[in-house]
Amino acid sequence: MGEAGPVKAVLESVGLAVEAREHRRQWSLWVPAERIVEACRLLKQDQGYRRLSFVTAVDWYPVEPRFEVVYSIHSLERNDWLRVKCRVSGENPEIDSVTGVWGAAGWYEREVFDLFGIRFRHHPDLRRIMMPQDWQGHPLRKDYPLSGAR
Amino acid sequence: MASETTAEGPRTMVLNMGPQHPSTHGVLRLVLELDGETVVKAQPDIGYLHTGIEKTAEVKTYAQAITLTDRVDYLCPMMGNLGFCLAVEGLLALEIPPKAQWMRVMLAELTRLNSHLVWLGTHAIDIGAMSVFLYCFREREEILRLFEMVSGQRMMTTYLRIGGLALEPPLGFFERVRKLADILPERIDEYENLLTENPIWKERTQGVGRISLEDALEHGMTGPILRGSGLQWDIRKAKPYSSYDRFDFDVPVRAGGDVYARYQVRVEEMRQSVRIVQQALDGMPEGAIQADAPHVVLPEREKMKTQMEALIYHFKIVTEGFRVPAGDFSQSVESPRGELAYYVVSDGGPKPYRCFIRGPSFGNLQGLPKLVEGGLLADVISSMGSIDFVLGDTDR
């Protein structure tokens, strides 16, 4: 799905793209975590990525920074999916919410918060979504056991 | 929830709908704030069916993980199989032989028909049209029998494999599919006779649960909801996978944005699916059903018993699974409900390091408040039916 070259150049010109990689014809762009909202706004408004497909995370425990937050965004005009990624440290994992850019991020960020324990700053309603509200721990972390005592 | 208070007490009341309610088709809880019969605020509460499928996938080999993908969206098992297999095949850069691709397309469309038939029957029963359900399940039963014939299972098929299909379809299978495809157009006419011009049906669905395209996109809705709000976007056309570009079909669009428009879109999609099934039958290529990749695909039984090399491959694949090169890959397919995406991350080992499933129902349900707020309580049922969500797909 690869025509992210120009997008990469635009983001690089304002210092927003740390790294860009193409794998099996799909592009991933790494953006500094503290500037994610700025980058997303630029991608949506100037580059036409109107639709947020999903937000998820990958836990690279015990590597640090431990988490990778993945935003899959889609442009109807370009007919292109693009992954934007941020690395987030395992100690007090926090990142700004992109709900102000795409409303669809609401539930996806709640899911990442619930299952990975990454807090989204300025999220309007950051509660657990899958697990019960009083649940301890975050099941999709790699140091969370599949069964048995937590 | 803040609500206006009058001398007699609060003006609004909170009604808890579900998690056990027949029209939620699963376990969805909806917290409704009502002013008389008008819905002021709606808040879906999900997670009752969360079974940790993504976590489980991390400890299964790729071949084992296929069995989990059936159980995500249990109304369209083959669609889950297809999304996952395509994602892993993307990571492996496998070439799938034409016959397997055609079979996949045919089965995916039968799955779409299966899912839409369940949707139509239950949606109609929710609104009060009992008989449609019986008609729809008559044809659905035949589709399930076909699934059983080909895979041995009616619902949890797990018929697809990474690299192709599990087995050759049995003798007589194509004839039966053709028989079904031949009668379906007139059966769909029957359903339409019951509903499309039915004044009660129109009363309950037209102008109800209206959503603009902007709002639908903003809330992460996909599939028939976007097409019912006027966007001609179908992943089968936009980013064809599994040779969909070789098939001739239309993408139905309606501009109404209401429950009736979504109904029309899905019924038309059923007709298009029949067209695709017929084309797949007519043009079914000959040849292998599995890719030529001995390190991934299990060898034939005969070869395994007679050739040393095949025996070694068989042993390795069965005992530890095959390794997938490190990297990530995301595959979107057009499920009956919308964009179903499998995002698979590999660290080079024989098990997925991370397998994220973007179930279309999750995004679609997020927009439910937009559909029901400001409408009547009784219309919540018809709006919910028109979203066609599956809770397994939402909660995973």
Residues B232-279 pLDDT 10s: 999 999 999 999 999 999 999 999 889 999 999 999 999 999 999 999
Right CATH number for A5-92 from 1.10.150.120, 3.60.20.10, 3.30.450.40, 3.30.460.80?
A: 3.30.460.80
Categorize the per-residue pLDDT at B129 as very low, low, confident or very high, splitting at 50, 70 and 90. Answer: confident
What pLDDT shows up at residue A64?
Answer: 85
B35 within some domain: no
Q: How far is A102 from chain B (nearest CA, A)?
A: 6
B33 within some domain: no
Please state which of the ranges B13-27, B37-51, B178-192 shows the lowest mean pLDDT: B13-27
Contact between A54 and B358 using a beta-carbon 8 Å cutoff? yes
Average pLDDT over residues B220-243: 92
- Does the pLDDT value for residue A1 go beyond 50? no
Q: What is the per-residue pLDDT across A72-127, written as a single tens digit (0 to 9) for each?
A: 999 888 888 889 999 998 888 999 999 999 999 999 999 999 999 999 999 999 99
Could you tell me how far CA A65 lies from the centroid of its own chain? 14
Q: How far is A32 from chain B (nearest CA, A)?
A: 20
Contact between A139 and B362 using a beta-carbon 8 Å cutoff? no
Contact at 8 Å (CB) between B315 and B203? no
- Looking at chain B, the whole-number percentage of residues with pLDDT higher than 70 is 97
**Higher pLDDT, residue A12 or A62:** A62
Q: How far apart are CA B17 and CA B51, in angstroms?
A: 22
Q: How would DSSP label each residue in B166-195?
A: SSPPPTTHHHHHHHHHHHHHHHHHHHHHHH
Categorize the per-residue pLDDT at A11 as very low, low, confident or very high, splitting at 50, 70 and 90. Answer: confident
Q: In b/e form, how buried is each residue of B369-382, taking b as 16+ CB within 10 angstroms? A: bbbbbebeeebbbb
**Which residues have C-beta within 8 Å of that of residue A93, sequence separation ≥ 6?**
A66, A67, A116, A117, A118, A119
The ipTM, to two decimals, is 0.91
Single out the residue of B70, B234, B280, B81 nearest to residue B165, CA to CA. Answer: B81
Q: Where are the domains of chain A?
A: 5-92
**Which residues have C-beta within 8 Å of that of residue B54, sequence separation ≥ 6?**
A115, A140, B354, B355, B356, B357, B396
At B67, which CATH number?
Answer: 1.10.645.10
Contact between A58 and B56 using a beta-carbon 8 Å cutoff? no
Contact between B343 and A70 using a beta-carbon 8 Å cutoff? yes
Q: How far is A45 from chain B (nearest CA, A)?
A: 13
β-bridge mates for residue A88, sequence order:
A67
- Residue B264 sits at φ, ψ, to 5 deg, of -65, -40
**Which residues have C-beta within 8 Å of that of residue B378, sequence separation ≥ 6?**
B37
Pick from A56, A102, A107: which is nearest to B343 by CB? A56
What pLDDT shows up at residue B1?
Answer: 46
- Does the pLDDT value for residue B6 go beyond 90? no
- Does the pLDDT value for residue B45 go beyond 70? yes
β-bridge mates for residue B391, sequence order:
none
Average pLDDT over residues B311-331: 91
Report yes or no: A38 at the B interface, CB cutoff 8 Å: no
